[in-house]
Structure 1
Amino acid sequence: MKKACVRMVLIILASGVLFLASCTGNENQTGEETTTITKAEVTGQTLETTQETTVTLKPVTEQTEKKETQSTVIAVTTKPDFSKMTDLEKYRWEREQLKNDPERKFLYDNDGNEIVYNTNEVTVESALETRFYPLKGSAVDTVFYTPWSSGFHMYTHDTKVGQIFDTTESNFSNNKARAFIDAGIDYFDAMVKYCHGNGMEIFFGMRMNDTHDNQGGWYGELMLKVNKFKMDHPELLVGEAGKNPIYGTWTSVDFTHKIIRDMVYSIFEEACQNYDIDGIHLDFFRHPCFFKDAANGNPLKQETLDLMTDMMRQIREMTEREGMKRKKPILVSVRVPDSVEFCRAIGLDLEQWLSEDLVDFLCTSGYTQMNDWEYSVELGHKYGARVYPSIDETRVRDDNANKSRMSVESYYARLSNVWDAGADGFLLFNFYNYSSPIFKTGNDPEKFLNFNKHYFASYRGVGYFSRTWPHLDFINIPTVNPYDKLELKKGQLEEVVFRIGENLEKAKEKGKTPTVYLRLSLEQAKKKDKIIVEFNDKILERPLTIPSILAYKLEPTDIRKGLNTLKLMIHPEGDEVLFITDIVVDFYYN
């Protein structure tokens, strides 16, 4: 991965507060340098990131007052004076440079189960063949690798603090975890070296409370049976066999207990000590049930949230200690629901983590999305974190609707929305079609600018949340799909606001003008010609003749880059009630 060219800027505000800021610059038409900087307040010997801002830099020989912010750029250097900084301050400065690398755009989580299912021989080549070799020459910048951990504290790498998942019973007959260890082959170390040898970073990942052992059938039963910790310590779970709590699943471990938090800490510490990893990834989306009180339907007290925050502090401190030992920063990434309020409801004091600089990468959402991506971007950037929305399987509960949402045209639309919202990149999860053009072009919207796209008003509907804390009241974006239909009653106006990130101006510059359609799928509509449709303040007329679908050809000028508003109402002569089962805007360049 290319390294960013970063400079340091010393700024004095009118208030007299001194700031040291890291920045990456670009030249504007006047020859001045415009740059977005991460501002870090220097108070005594403490260096703390506080916010981002944009300034215009004159040549270093000039002293320029920027009136609107009342700040003065007084010096530009390649790096601060390390002789006046402690080792920890130096480390944190270097970590900021690494974190803010603008070339890091494409994060990939491959789910980490190939040693169990897809590795046919006990060799490094066989371990890398399925999901690492295909990444060579791809657009992927960073790999998140979770060595199994399906079922809390079970792994397939050579760990001394966790349990080796080495069963070969039933459908796990191909599991090579123990065979690799007995042969003295550290497959994860080989993965680290392969990534570094091919210009990619690699993070050690952990599913923070995976409960696939509660899904029933042979898989769930066997996963629970072989989990020594859960079988020996049922008192540390949120429920008991045959008796699920109100929310979540009974096999979830309860983070109220210090031993659970210590086990998480230990596995990350071991990984940081034993492997040349670039960071660690804490996946709180698998699965989001962490405290027994919440599982039983009780609002959590602040002291409970503080338990998880304290664990995050200890993990951050550990990465700093181990990173300084090896003279290379270790970054911290989290994947969490995209709602501060919902995170608090399940025990994650996300904004507190961000405010204390405990997180470098904020990866939001999973099988459920609650807010427009701009929400995550504003939250993360407010505290200096890089933001990478997670682009997962849609898992809408309708086969045809799910298939269309999983198309490459849909993925390109979703990626366009991520970039349009101002994210720093994206996380691709549970996606194994390595022949997909996304692996070559997903990191740059310019590369897929003129590709066909399907912009759905809702990609994930009400979501798929494994019975965790009720989340519907936290959703602030459309959920319309065949499983969650939009009811339209006579005399009632329905408004649907959704993002379309298509850059039509750039497409026009390249001589490309798409054909654009709006499609509304209907149910129980006997008089579909008696529906009033307004798109971005324009009443649409002359619908196309397509059974069960109300479709219109739009002009490219009808589209707004960003949020678009669709208003629907039944005409006085129309049906009493009907249902909208899907809303999509199609762009066809070919």
Structure 2
Amino acid sequence: MFKKDRKRRIIYNDDSDQQFARLNRPPYNFIDEQSFIDARTTPTFGTQVDTYVWNVGNGATPPWGPWAELNDYIVHPFLGTHQYATDAIIKACHSNNMEIWGSLRMNDSHDAHVKQLEHTNDSFKSKHPEYLLGTIADRDLGNEHIESYQWAALNFEHQAVRDHRLSYIKDNAETHDFDGYELDFTRFIWNFPQGKELELAPLMTEFIKDVRDVLDNIGKKRRRKYTFIVHVPDSIETSLMLGLDVEKWMSNQLVDIVVAGMGFNPYKMPIGNWKQLGLRYGIPIYTSLNTRPLFKLYRDTFRSSAAWIKYIRGVADWWWYCDVDGIYLFNLFTHCEFNTKPLDKEIVYKPLSEIGEISTLKKENKIYAIDSVVGMFTQASVASELPTILDKNERRILLNVGFDANDEDATFVLHVWLNQDGQDLRIWVRVNHVSVELMQDSNHWIATLPEGIFRTGENDFTMYCNIESVTNNPIIVTEVFVEAEF
């Protein structure tokens, strides 16, 4: 029905939590199957979304195992089972000529803080603790240590673990009429012991080959091929360092599509490198944006203002400038579901009718950002530009701007956040060798930039101030944004 090399403007990922009664709260009122479909799925129809991605869970049956019961992940009575819920979404998508993929979280560790093994998200873990990447004692190391999350992940070094996962994929892909099947290696990122990932990468390549064979056999039986997708970390290098030899998968034609990116470093991602591989092997590359970025401004401002949609537009504009094959959106729906300061549902779904084409982004207000911290997924991410120290020495920071740089109707306003106010502090930026002084505005620094100062693509951007670096109390730049206003 849907060719693997078809054009996909927006790919929309749904974590499928609306099938559970725990989400029966505003903005939703679940009373029947149609209200379930209308919650997150119907708003994508008639937009620029060409592919719907339904999270099938973590490889446990039912999804999330014992951990689900502890966290009230109970399927709505009117749906009955997670299998029925899945088929209802598939039917709704196909009825609206929408391609749909099943997406398996390959090694989810949301259960890393459980009190006992029996409460983890797959009973296979408690039955075989020897197959985990750590022990439950690692849980208490402190969240500054990735081991406190990693311990609950399965170790794919063991054949039994690979067999367990392959068996689930076969059963799930046979049971449901998905058009494609995605392995999500970004939730979470650890599949092998620390330090052994490169050595064990061939095991994962063999596993990918086995999945390819399974999906091909199912496709032959149903007389319709399965599209095989992998969702991997930010770069070819970070993927390989985690045991994912994506280039080998591509060169051997084991996968049909690559979705790249953790979603937190959209401007620093080496899109050009991914595009080169995609062109070399004839495989589309889609870039993934997590719409819940990890910077402070998101928590303080984006969740309660239209700045959020400007940020999404800015990323999309940059990515289309980079000639991506399409945009993959993660966690979009969550913004109208927060218990505190939720956004209006119409605002949340508005990007789906804007960011899929360059023409619908033109003349829309945007925010371009310099990538900041990435949380616990550092090993899967490219290096962040921020935070950085500010002193009398000019510090070069990567600043990318999309098509708006050439728009004479755009006004650009620069915003900079620091870790302190700084008495008698003066700050300058130099954009493509033009110096501009910033003025303090409440809790941050701001400047309207001269007309024509930006160019499309990478801009030469430096920052400096009038104070020498002080070791015991340094001035630190935490966030930098550029608003494009029309």
TM superposition score normalised by structure 1: 0.70
Q: What is the CA-CA distance between 1:401 and the residue it aligns to?
A: 6.5
Among 198, 209, 232, the residue aligned to 2:127? 232
Aligned runs of 1:351-430 on 2, under 5 Å? 351-369=247-265, 371-392=269-290, 393-396=292-295, 399-400=299-300, 403=303, 407-430=308-331
Task: Please report how far the alpha carbon of residue 200 of structure 1 lies from its aligned counterpart in structure 2 after TM superposition.
Answer: 0.9
Aligned length: 454
Tell me which of 519, 527, 532 is aligned to 2:424.
Answer: 527
Cα distance in structure 2, aligned partners of 1:231 and 1:357: 36
Could you tell me whether the CA contact under 8 Å between 1:367 and 1:463 is conserved in 2? no
Q: Using the TM superposition, give the Cα deviation of residue 276 of structure 1 relative to its aligned residue in structure 2, in angstroms.
A: 2.2
Residues 466-497 of structure 1, C-alpha deviation per residue, up to 9 Å, x if partnerless? Answer: 5xxx639x63452x2xxxx321233x221011
The 3 A distance-change label for structure 1 pair 575 and 315 is closer
Q: 1:202 to 1:313 in 2, by over 3 A?
A: same
> What is the aligned counterpart of 2:158 among 257, 270, 273?
257
Task: Assess if the C-alpha contact under 8 Å between 1:504 and 1:556 holds in 2.
Answer: no
The Cα shift of 1:258 comes to 1.4
SS in 1 for 2:101: strand
Post-superposition CA distance 1:14-44 (Å, at most 9, x none): xxxxxxxxxxxxxxxxxxxxxxxxxxxxxxx
In structure 2, relative to structure 1, the CA distance for the partners of 1:209 and 1:554 (3 Å cut) is same
- Alignment deviations for residues 269-292 of structure 1 (CA, whole Å, 9 cap, x no partner): 22332322110011101111111x
| Inter-CA distance 173–105: structure 2 relative to 1 (3 Å threshold) | closer
CA contact (8 A) 1:394 1:406 kept: no
Aligned equivalents of 1:226 and 1:107: distance in 2?
A: 27
Q: What is the CA distance between 1:144 and its match in structure 2? A: 0.9
CA–CA distance in 1 between the matches of 2:270 and 2:121?
Answer: 41
Which whole-Å CA distance do the structure 2 matches of 1:548 and 1:121 have between them? 42
1:504, CA displacement in angstroms? 4.7
Match runs of 1:60-71 below 5 Å: none
Among 84, 90, 109, the residue aligned to 1:186: 84
Q: 1:486-565 counterparts in 2 under 5 A?
A: 486-490=388-392, 492-505=393-406, 507=407, 513-522=409-418, 523-529=420-426, 531-540=427-436, 543-544=438-439, 546-547=441-442, 549-565=444-460
Aligned pair partner of 1:306 in 199, 202, 205: 202
The answer to which of 112-121 and 309-318 deviates more is 112-121
Is structure 2 residue 21 aligned with structure 1 residue 112? Answer: no
**What amino acid does structure 2 have at the position aligned with 1:487?**
I
Following the alignment from structure 2 to structure 1, what is the Cα–Cα distance between the partners of residues 322 and 383?
Answer: 16
Matched residues in 2 for 1:270 and 1:169: separation? Answer: 23
Q: Which one-letter code corresponds to 1:581 in the other structure?
A: T
Q: Give the SS at the match of 1:371.
A: coil
Q: Supply the AA of the counterpart residue of 2:135.
A: E
1:380 & 1:556 partners in 2: Cα distance?
Answer: 37
Shift of 1:312: 0.4
C-alpha change, 1:551 and 1:224, in structure 2 (3 Å) is same
**Residue in structure 2 matching 1:278, options 166, 176, 179:** 179
Residue in structure 1 matching 2:103, options 197, 205, 210: 205
- Structure 1 letter corresponding to 2:475: L
Q: Quote the offset at 1:225 in angstroms.
A: 5.2
Between the aligned partners of 1:222 and 1:114, the Cα distance in structure 2 is 26
2:80 partner SS = helix
Partner of 1:456: 369
Give the superposition deviation at 1:452. Answer: 0.9
Structure 2 match to 1:327: 223
Instruction: Confirm whether residue 471 of structure 1 aligns to residue 373 of structure 2.
Output: no
How far the C-alpha of 1:439 sits from its partner, in A, is: 1.9
Secondary structure of 1:343's counterpart equals helix
Identity, % of aligned positions: 24
**1:282 counterpart SS class:** strand
Separation (CA, whole Å) in 2 of partners of 1:173 and 1:497:
42
SS in 1 for 2:75: coil
Structure 2: distance between partners of 1:256 and 1:178: 41
Structure 2: which amino acid aligns with 1:386? P
Secondary structure at the residue paired with 2:361?
coil
Unaligned runs of 5+ in 1: 4-97, 157-163
Of 344, 349, 356, the match for 2:240:
344
Residue aligning to 2:60: 153
The DSSP-based 3-state class of the residue aligned with 1:213 is coil
- Would you tell me which structure has more strand in proportion to its own residues? 1
Match of 2:463 in 1: 568
In 2: Cα distance, 1:198 partner to 1:212 partner: 33
Aligned partners of 2:306, 2:260: CA distance in 1, in Å? 19
**Distance of 1:315 and 1:402 partners within structure 2:** 40
Aligned residue identity for 1:255: F
- Assess if the C-alpha contact under 8 Å between 2:117 and 2:125 holds in 1: no
User: Deviation string for 1:345-383 (max 9, x for gaps)?
Assistant: 221111111211222222122254363433433343332
What is the rounded CA distance, in whole Å, between the counterparts of 1:166 and 1:214 in structure 2? 13
For residue 362 of structure 2, give the secondary structure of its aligned residue in structure 1: coil
- Larger fraction in helix: 2
Larger radius of gyration: 1
User: The residue matched to 1:565 in structure 2 has which SS?
Assistant: strand
Distance 1:264 1:122 in 2: 34
Shift, 1:205, TM fit: 0.9
Which structure 2 segments of 5+ residues have no match? Answer: 140-144, 337-344
> Matched residues in 2 for 1:325 and 1:170: separation?
39
2:348 pairs with 1:447: no
Q: Please identify, of 124-133 and 242-251, the stretch whose mean Cα deviation from structure 2 is larger.
A: 242-251
1:141 aligns with 2:50: yes
